[in-house]
Amino acid sequence: MILLLFIFVLAIFLGLELITKVPSQLHTPLMSGSNAISGITIVGALIAAGTGGTFGTVLGTLAVIFATINVVGGYLVTDRMLAMFKGKRKD
Amino acid sequence: MELLINLSYIAASIMFIYGLKMLSRAETARRGNLLSALAMLLAVVATLLSGGLSFQWIIVGLIVGSIVGAFAARVVKMTAMPEMVALFNGSGGIASLLVGWAEYQAEPSGDVFRTVAILLAVFIGGVAFSGSIVAFGKLSGRIQGRPILFRGQHLINAALVAITAALAVLVVLNPAGTYLIFILIALLSLLLGVLLVIPIGGADMPIVISLLNSYSGIAASAAGFIILNNVLIVAGSLVGASGLILTNIMCKAMNRSLTNVLFGGFGATTSTTTTAVQGEVKAITAEDAYFILEAANSVIFVPGYGMAVAQAQHTVRELAELLEANGCEVKYAIHPVAGRMPGHMNVLLAEANVPYEQLVEPDDVNPIMPTIDVAVVIGANDVVNPAAREDESSPLYGMPIINVDEAKTVFVLKRSMAAGFSGVENPLFFKNNTRMLFGDAKQSISTLVAEFKEAIAA
């Protein structure tokens, strides 16, 4: 458990170091892209939906639905935005 | 097999880290997003293969979620992007809450560590969810955008947090016998999310969205502590950190501290302190504006939320191209907090195919401002308010702005003389070199475009 906390703290610091200077043009994609990453909770949702009792499965399935919306929607919308940025740089 | 699964989780974590790093640089952003999506896929597949899961409901959930998510991502208009991001963020938050709840339901009598993690996932997830929903309501105009304040708000919030903490202690002490208290905590978290976001005004929305984004990451991390899974902890905390960085960038761009944004109730309380502004407002017709623009050698557009509302970005780009064809140098000055989410203006202008090279940041454009013939302010207000520089009593004082007032001529496209979202008077409108072009921004610019086209045709 201490190990998990250790990983948590290290990952926070890594994240803070990783993204120091972001051009403002990328603020929205960075936000929506990282927002999609927060859908990683889907892993917990899958386990809950696949192992629980009746009510647990209901909760888990709802969690899977919401997490999947977050993941699929988040990545697609980010890609759509970034494709726009890319397209205009050619001309 | 278990080793392979765990190795997949490690690989996914590394891909998330690289993906996020690539996402913060223009050249690699799109590949970074793809890499992080692949990481997500890897994590999901690894989980599905880890064994002991019945797939029936998982498949239903995955299909329903994918259809809804993909549909929403495809049909959303670029102008509606802030509220879409808020909604996606909300669904991540509620998912973490539900994971926490399901885990509690499955095994209420876990150890202290597990119970605390469950409570954190539920609480933070709940705040992120209801906060995002309120943010969505404000951004899409379903709830009034102005701060909603009432007496003792901070006291009530503090009391709610204290009550929640006390209830959480009860649950930790006796996890199995406190189901109702657990539900109460979940409800309190939802209430707190609402109360935390309603006092925040429209112009502060970029900060709040970044912060809520950070919360949903931390909630996912907490879910990782429940199921003892590293990839959730790593990915969640990366999001938490990146959300904090964006929040910080936004706060700096407004010269405000996070506490001030969260507890300030900006805009609702400040209207009495404004000093009387001197001078008179000089209106201009689109026809006269055309003659000035036609003679200009350099023009800077300063877009704000008003451009998004009027959906004027395509018309603006058209005008810019006509100006360029007329031998004029055109740039767009983008303030980091213009609009309702970080980078809002960049997204809109990109949608309208504005060349990337023409977008400049305030620090680059301010030094050359006195050489600019015309600065055209389109639905921006607070980010060009000279009071931020000159008036120490102004609530905006100290906020870095775009110094359009130093340009030779300033056009301000605006519906009426109403103050910006901060509720602060703007002395820019009363300056000698300022001309107000009243009316719908898109309509005004269309008229200018038509004038240019007529002149070319003639």
pLDDT in tens, A33-56: 999 999 999 999 999 999 878 999
Any B CB within 8 A of A76 CB = yes
| Residues of A whose CB is below 8 A from B105 | 52-53, 55-56, 59
| Beta carbons of A72 and B70 less than 8 Å apart | yes
- The reported pTM is 0.87
The minimal CB distance from B30 to the residues A15, A30, A83 is found for: A83
Chain A, nearest residue to B358 by Cα:
A89
Size of interface A-B (CB pairs under 8 A): 375
DSSP notation for B133-198 = HHHHHHHTTSS-SS----TTHHHHHHHHHHHHHHHHHHHHHSGGG-HHHHHHHHHHHHHHHHHHHT
- Residue pointed to by tokens 């991540």: B92
The helix or strand, by DSSP H or E, that contains position B70, with its residue range, turns out to be helix B55-75
Rounded Cα distance between B11 and B4, Å, is 10
Q: Identify the band that residue A91 occupies on the pLDDT scale cut at 50, 70 and 90.
A: very low
Whether the per-residue pLDDT at A87 is higher than 70: the answer is no
From chain A residues 10-39, the ones with a CB under 8 A of any chain B CB are 11-16, 18-39
Residue of A27, A30, A44 with shortest CB distance to B99: A44
Closest-approach residue (CA) in chain B for A68: B65
CB contact under 8 A, B44 and A61: no
A71 to B34: CB separation less than 8 angstroms, yes or no: no
Using the Cβ of A6 and the Cβ atoms of chain B, whether some distance falls under 8 Å is answered with no
pLDDT of residue B270: 42
Q: Does the distance separating the beta carbons of B213 and A24 come in below 8 Å?
A: no
- Taking contacts as CB-CB distances below 8 angstroms, the residues of chain B near A54 are none
Whether A31 sits inside 8 A of B343 (CB atoms) is yes
Per-residue pLDDT tens, chain B, 458 aa: give them.
889 999 999 999 999 999 999 998 888 999 999 999 999 999 999 999 998 888 999 999 999 999 999 999 999 988 888 889 999 999 999 999 999 999 999 988 888 999 999 999 999 999 999 999 999 998 887 887 777 777 778 888 889 999 999 999 999 999 888 899 999 999 999 999 999 888 887 677 888 889 999 999 999 999 999 999 999 999 999 999 999 988 888 888 888 777 777 765 544 444 444 455 667 788 888 888 899 998 999 999 999 988 988 889 999 999 999 999 989 999 999 998 888 888 889 888 988 888 888 889 888 899 999 999 999 999 888 889 888 888 887 777 888 899 999 999 999 998 877 666 566 678 888 888 999 988 888 989 999 999 888 888 87
Tell me which of A37, A64, A71, A81 to substitute to probe the interface with B (most B C-beta atoms closer than 10 Å).
Answer: A37
A3, closest residue in chain B (CA to CA): B230
pLDDT computed for residue B103 by the predictor: 94
Asked if B346's CB is within 8 angstroms of A56's CB, the reply is no
- ipTM score: 0.93
Closest CB to A28: pick one of B70, B89, B342.
B342
B416 to chain A, closest Cα gap in Å: 29
Model pLDDT, residue A89: 45
The alpha-carbon gap from B211 to the nearest alpha carbon of chain A, in Å, equals 10
Provide the residue count of chain B.
Answer: 458
The values of phi and psi at residue B301, to 5°, are -95, 135
Q: Which of B58, B313, B402 to mutate to test the interface with A (most CBs of A within 10 A)?
A: B58
Positive/negative CA dihedral, B61, B65, B66, B68: positive
Distance CA B405, CA B411 (A): 10
Contact between chains at B44 and A43 (C-beta distance less than 8 A): yes
Residue A15 with chain B: CB contacts under 8 Å: 20, 237-242, 245
CATH topology of domain B286-457: Rossmann fold (3.40.50)
DSSP strand pairing (B374-378 vs B434-438): unpaired
Q: Residue A68 and residue B60: Cβ atoms within 8 Å?
A: no
Which residue in A has a C-alpha nearest to residue B101's C-alpha?
A59
Q: Is B431 helix (H, G, I), strand (E, B) or coil?
A: coil
- Which residue of chain B is at minimal alpha-carbon distance from A41? B220
Distance CA(B81)–CA(B83), nearest Å, equals 6
* Closest residue to B350, CB basis, from A51, A76, A88: A88
Q: Where are the domains of chain B?
A: 79-262, 286-457
Q: Are B73 and A65 a contacting pair at CB < 8 A? A: no
Q: Do B91 and A66 touch (CB under 8 A)?
A: yes
pLDDT (0 to 100) of residue B280: 78
Interface test with chain B among A2, A8, A43, by most B beta carbons within 10 Å: A43
Residues of A in contact with B139 (CB under 8 A): none
For residue A67, what pLDDT is reported? Answer: 97
CA atoms of B63 and B428, how far apart (whole Å): 53
Other CB atoms within 10 Å distance of the CB of residue B272? 5
Residues of B known to be catalytic? 382
pLDDT given for residue A35 in this prediction: 93
Contact B105 A55 (CB under 8 A): yes
Predicted pLDDT of residue B268: 42
Nearest to B344 by CA among B444, B202, B244, B442: B202
Whether residues A41 and B243 touch (CB distance < 8 A) is answered with no
* Residue B457 burial by Cβ neighbours in a 10 Å radius (0-12, 13-18, 19+): exposed
